[in-house]
Amino acid sequence: MSYSTWLALLSACLLISFTPGAGAVNTMNNALRVGIRRAIWGILGQQTALLIQLVIVAAGLGLVIAGSPTAFAVIRYCGAAYLMYLGIQQILDGRRPAAEVDFKAGPATPRSMFVRGMWVNLLNPKAIVFLLAFIPGFVRPERDLLLQYTIIGLTIVVVDVLVMWLFFAVVGKSFARFASTDSGRRVLGWIFGLLFIGVGILLVVV
């Protein structure tokens, strides 16, 4: 991969990562609950899902999923349902009195945040379709494919981790003081809940 091609890849990855989606909402929510440092576990879960999707695309299975309306629909509706479930959970959690919540430690464990982050991204078949359309522009069939996919995967993951951790997590954490009151928790519960639900709906209708 030439330097100019990699720069184009880097620019595209930055644009994609800064585009708000389910991963961004999940990262902001985790940072609000447990802080910026511990929010990394959810981000790592999201990257694990991204790497799995990249492997699927590289192996050619993405073409099968994208070409099968039934498989695509099943994964898409499962993903939408999961995001809506998370949204409803956020709304209900927002009704808990602020005094019952420890915002420094938070109720989330590293494992639970990792698993949730992984499923948030994994249950999005459109990511596979997007990668199928996105990746070929940066791959040269006559060159070492393994090396090219490794560079693409590392670039995508590193950029997304930095954007999620240093931007979206910081944005989410900025709501911590507001969330220390009962009214603030209710408002944020509705905001994050509706964001999750909205992304779930978009996953189905767009």
Report d(CA 101, CA 16) in Å as an integer.
34
Please give the residue range of the domain that contains residue 33: 21-205
C-alpha count within 13 angstroms, C-beta hemisphere, residue 121: 28
In a domain, 1, yes or no: no
In a domain, 14, yes or no: no
In a domain, 100, yes or no: yes
Total-model pTM: 0.72
Asked whether 104 and 41 are in contact (CB, 8 A), the reply is no
pLDDT at res. 105 = 39
Tokens describing residue 163: 């954007």
In a domain, 76, yes or no: yes
In a domain, 80, yes or no: yes
pLDDT at res. 103 = 41
In a domain, 97, yes or no: yes
The domain total for the chain is 1
Residue-by-residue pLDDT tens, the chain, 206 positions: 778 778 888 888 887 788 767 888 889 889 988 899 999 999 999 999 999 988 888 887 666 666 778 877 777 788 788 778 888 887 887 776 655 544 443 457 899 999 999 998 888 776 777 777 677 777 777 788 788 888 989 999 999 999 999 999 998 888 877 766 778 778 888 888 888 788 788 767 76
In a domain, 5, yes or no: no
pLDDT at res. 169 = 93
In a domain, 194, yes or no: yes
